[in-house]
Amino acid sequence: MATRRLTFVTGNANKLMETKYILSQGIPIEIDSQDLDIPELQGTTQEVAIAKSRRAAELLGRACITEDTALCYEAFGGLPGPYIKHFMKNIGHEGLNNLLVGFPTKDAYALCTFAYSAGPGAEPILFEGRTDGTIVPARGPPTFGWDAVFQPKGFDKTYAEMTKEDKNVISHRYRALDKLKAYLSTLPT
Ligand SMILES: O=c1[nH]c(=O)c2ncn([C@@H]3O[C@H](COP(=O)(O)OP(=O)(O)OP(=O)(O)O)[C@@H](O)[C@H]3O)c2[nH]1
Ligand SMILES: [Mg+2]
């Protein structure tokens, strides 16, 4: 099978590393990356993902993938959702826990939305992956975003405490990429 080449438009080195790792387990693919400055609109995760993908393909002038990650609190009807980046940056791990003081549930889910665009003007196709969990006081290395405060359901470790092999077979990103992989294998290389 010929090796597929695809550009991932992202400025996030950790996302890129995990994506390369997960995709390389399944199909012959080479991912390169472009860090383009793309404004992220307000809206649902799907609306944010579609707008980002459209713009990325226009700027790049060819097929690409983009990814949006949301962290959704059950107590807040799914917020912070796609705005988690700004919450994380401004209030950190402790703040992400403190937000939930007084609320009956600390349940949350991580939602990953990959968007594939075949090129400028093409309608983006979305691939979503969700992992359910709970928000806990930070444990594990603070290497990647909110990994240290997210404990997936059925595990006694946070994402940050897991090995990359363990996180990358249950994560929101893995679940979305599994669907993207199946779609890519239906396309000609
Ligand atoms: O602990 C984490 N485990 C993960 O698995 C994960 N995936 C994303 N994130 C963080 O959540 C926000 C998403 O915002 P986001 O989707 O706009 O990403 P970004 O702006 O960093 O990159 P990009 O938009 O250029 O691709 C950013 O703060 C990311 O660092 C994660 N944190
Ligand atoms: Mg972003």
Give residue-wise pLDDT tens across range 111-122: 999 999 999 999
Please choose from 60, 69, 90, 151 the residue to mutate so as to test ligand 1's pocket, defined by most ligand atoms within 8 A of CB: 69
Residue 55 has pLDDT above 90, yes or no: yes
Nearest-angstrom CA–CA distance, 89 and 85: 6
Helices (H), 64-119: 84-98
Nearest ligand (C-alpha, residue 88): 1
Please say whether the beta carbons of 71 and 130 come within 8 A. Answer: no
Residue 1 has pLDDT above 80, yes or no: no
Distance (Å) from CA 133 to ligand 1 centroid: 17
First-to-final CA distance of the chain: 9
Q: Specify the number of domains making up the chain.
A: 1
Pocket of ligand 1 (CB under 6 A): 10-12, 15, 40, 67-69, 84-85, 88, 144-147, 159, 173
Q: Would you say the ipTM is above 0.90?
A: yes
Mean pLDDT of 158-164: 98
CATH number of the domain where residue 130 is located: 3.90.950.10
At 76, is the secondary structure helix, strand, or coil? helix
Parallel, antiparallel, or unpaired for β 107-117 and 64-73?
antiparallel
Nearest-angstrom CA–CA distance, 66 and 52: 7
Residue 106 has pLDDT above 90, yes or no: yes
Task: Note down the domain range covering 96.
Answer: 4-186
Give residue-wise pLDDT tens across range 61-73: 999 999 999 999 9
Atom of ligand 1 nearest to the CA of 150: 1
Report the chain's mean pLDDT, rounded to a whole number. 96
Q: Check whether 52 is labelled as a binding-site residue.
A: yes
Atom of ligand 1 nearest to the CA of 148: 1
Nearest ligand (C-alpha, residue 37): 1
